[in-house]
Structure 1
Amino acid sequence: MSIMTQLEFELEFSQSEKQIAKYILNHGEEVLSMSVKELAKETYTSPATIVRLCKKIGLEGYNDFKIKYSAELQYDLHHTDRIDVNFPFSKDDSYPMICHKLSSLYQEVIADTIKLIDFTELNKIVDLLYPHQHIDIYGSGNSLLAAMSFQHKMMRISRDVNLRILHGEQVFMSYNSNSSRIAMIISYSGETNENIQIAQTLKENNTPIIVLTSVGDNRLSHYADYILNIGSREKIFTKIAPFASQISIEYLFNVIFSCIFQKDYEQNIQNKISYDKKNDFRHPLSSPVSDEIK
């Protein structure tokens, strides 16, 4: 996760650390000109508390924080023409403007996600998934919507993708897992306690784990055998909806499906066309979207 996202998330922060985090988020670039003593004075805390907070979010200390936080702010400054992934439209935008802004958002998020893909890692993930018939997906909320679409596509190429949406069922599924199954865990923050518990159990059961999560250090990534990164410009709480993370996750699932599909391309095409001609009755023969049936 980015520094700003971690500060907003406030994972296991003390009250004093939360106070420092809020000040940094509210004052942005102004903080970069402050010494640790000056920031401590402004937040009614101590230099030791500030250093402890920096280490808690994976940094070496206050100087390391200033360098990396400055880089994040500079990135945002140099991309002012980009869509705000957290608030991609305003209350005053017309409907056509909202349409165009969301279109730009899709393009930007996918472009960001492509840059994050380690293609060597992707090859390993596809090679791992290809021969396996049983894949279990773990996640919650909006991430499961993308997973359900992936499940539907994979079913068409004879892959059994398991999803559990009732509370507690995913934990139970992880207890029943073993080395013959593949686990995919989706978590933007990488800090959801239930996902951490599931990852620990899967590790104990020797189940290979593929993690889809945001860039940066988080607890879930420590359990991963393979990682694909989700675009990480989206905030945890301060946003209209999880537009960006949803787009990024769905894109990664589509990439994985497409790479697996390609391995038996001709056979998969023929199987799908044959199945659809026999079983898909959604469109009358006169429909312009219907293929010519021979």
Structure 2
Amino acid sequence: MNIFTKISQLTKLTDNEKLLVDFILSHPEKVMMMNAKELALQTYVSQTTVYRLCNKLELSNFSDLKVLIATQKKDFEKESQDMDFNYPFFHRQTHHEIIHNMESLYQQTIVATKNLLDLETIKAIVQEMYNAKSIAIYPSVGNISVAENFRQNMQEIGQPIEIATSMYDQHWSACIKGQNDLVIVISYMGRTPNILDLMHELKKRKAKIILISATYEEQLSPLANYHLYMCSYESFHEKISSFSSRISLQYILDCLYSCYFERNFYDFLNFKIDNYID
């Protein structure tokens, strides 16, 4: 996960930690030139606060933070360009303007999603996919087509995927899951009816759970074994369409499929070619 994104998502901060976070996000170039003592003096906090923030970011020391700021700053700046994710175009705009705006929305969505991905989490999930006796997806209604695309990709390399789309099917599917099964739950805000009950049922049966949601979803996250985040600049209801969240989810699932494919590249490729139908 991009360090700037990670800093932005920190919760339960003290007032001094908030001051520190605001300064780092507003003045990354200055932070790169400071040591911990200088940063503490600049922000009127203690050095202990600086080290405590590093600890919350799962970093060993302040030098690690500076290295990540230096190497990941450009990626975060690409994400921070001005874009209305809910209304990427308006009445009386030309077709040329709309096409350009949609290109920008796609690009910024991918950058924002990439900045939210954690490589160690991706590696762990791919391993869980290899170990699982079965893999199922429980998508929200608006994400069924993207989930179907992932199922098709996996099926074409000989890896069957179950998709349960209705509350009825999801309920009964969850009731027969066990510790060797893997379930991918997709819900942007966690407001899908019955989803909390499903997560509890899966947890009770010790199934492995991958949650894919927006960053500000908090109700379901404690029940998941792994949490992947969609680009979260989109409103839940006040928007022209789910352009950004749909592209973000597609990118995440494509990354999982590609990393899974790479683990057994030539066998999967040969299976796909040998069994291809038009």
TM-score (norm 2): 0.70
Overall identity of the aligned pairs, in %: 26
Return the letter of the residue paired with 1:158: G
Q: Which residue of 2 aligns with 1:113?
A: 113
The range that moved more, 171-180 or 115-124, is 171-180
Q: Is the CA contact 2:189–2:216 (under 8 Å) kept in the aligned structure 1?
A: no
CA RMSD of aligned residues (A): 2.9
Q: Is the 8 A contact 1:191 1:218 kept in 2?
A: no
Using the TM superposition, give the Cα deviation of residue 119 of structure 1 relative to its aligned residue in structure 2, in angstroms: 0.5
Q: Given residue 143 of structure 1, which amino acid in structure 2 is its aligned partner?
A: N
Deviations 1:203-257 (A, max 9, x none): 0001010111111451110101011111111111111111111111110000000
> Counterpart in 1 of 2:41?
none
Mark the runs of 5 or more structure 2 residues left unpaired by the alignment.
1-10, 27-77
- Is the contact between residue 178 and residue 205 of structure 2 (CA under 8 Å) also seen in structure 1? yes
Q: Aligned residue for 2:203?
A: 203
CA distance in 1 between counterparts of 2:174 and 2:182 reads 11
Give the distance between the partners of 2:167 and 2:214, measured in 1 at CA: 24
Where 1:209 maps in the other structure, the secondary structure is strand
State yes or no: 1:273 paired with 2:277: no
Could you give the per-residue CA deviations for residues 76-97 of structure 1, whole angstroms, max 9, x where no partner exists?
xx98853211001111111222
| 1:168 paired to 2:168 | yes
Q: How many residues align?
A: 218
Secondary structure at 1:199's aligned position in 2? helix
Give the direction of change, closer, same or farther, for the CA distance of 1:269–1:79 in structure 2 (3 Å limit).
Answer: closer
SS at match of 1:252: helix
| One-letter amino acid matched to 2:246 | Q
- From the superposition, tell whether residues 80 and 216 of structure 1 become closer, same or farther in structure 2 (CA, over 3 Å): closer
Aligned counterparts, 1:147-166, within 5 A: 147-166=147-166
Larger radius of gyration: 1
CA distance in 2: counterparts of 1:145 and 1:199, whole angstroms: 22
Q: Structure 1 residues 106 and 198 mapped into 2: Cα distance closer, same or farther (>3 Å)?
A: same
Q: Which position in structure 1 is the counterpart of 2:256?
A: 256
Paired residue type of 1:228: L
Letter in 1 for 2:249: I
* Letter matched to residue 177 of structure 2: S
Aligned AA (2:248): S
Task: Please give the secondary structure, in 2, of the residue aligned with 1:142.
Answer: helix
Q: Which amino acid aligns with 2:155?
A: M
In 2, distance between residues paired with 1:246 and 1:191? 17
- Aligned equivalent of 2:91: 91
Between the aligned partners of 2:177 and 2:247, the Cα distance in structure 1 is 29
Query: What are structure 1's unaligned runs of at least 5 residues?
Result: 1-57, 281-294
- Which amino acid is the alignment partner of residue 229 of structure 1? Y
Cα separation, 2, equivalents of 1:80 and 1:199: 33
> Which stretch of structure 1 is more off in the superposition, 151-160 or 127-136?
127-136
Could you tell me which residue of structure 2 aligns to residue 122 of structure 1?
Answer: 122
Are the structure 2 counterparts of residues 166 and 267 from structure 1 closer, same or farther at C-alpha, using a change threshold of 3 Å? same
Hey, what's the Cα distance between the residues in 2 that align with 1:231 and 1:136? 23
CA distance in 1 between counterparts of 2:141 and 2:82 reads: 27
Write the letter of the residue equivalent to 2:231: G
Amino acid of the structure 2 residue aligned with 1:94:
T
Alpha-carbon separation, structure 2, partners of 1:95 and 1:113: 27
The Cα shift of 1:67 comes to 7.3
Aligned equivalents of 1:90, 1:183: Cα separation in 2: 39
Aligned to 2:226: 226
Partner residue of 1:100?
Answer: 100
SS at match of 1:228: strand
Q: How does 1:56-95 map to 2 (within 5 A)?
A: 81-95=81-95
* Residues 154 and 161, structure 2, Cα contact 8 Å, conserved in 1: yes
Quote the offset at 1:191 in angstroms.
3.9
CA pair 210-92 structure 1, distance change in 2 beyond 3 A: same
Which TM-score applies when normalising by structure 1? 0.67
> 1:183 — aligned with what?
183
Q: Which runs of 4+ in 1 moved over 4 A?
A: 58-61, 78-81
Conserved? CA contact 1:189–1:213, under 8 Å = yes
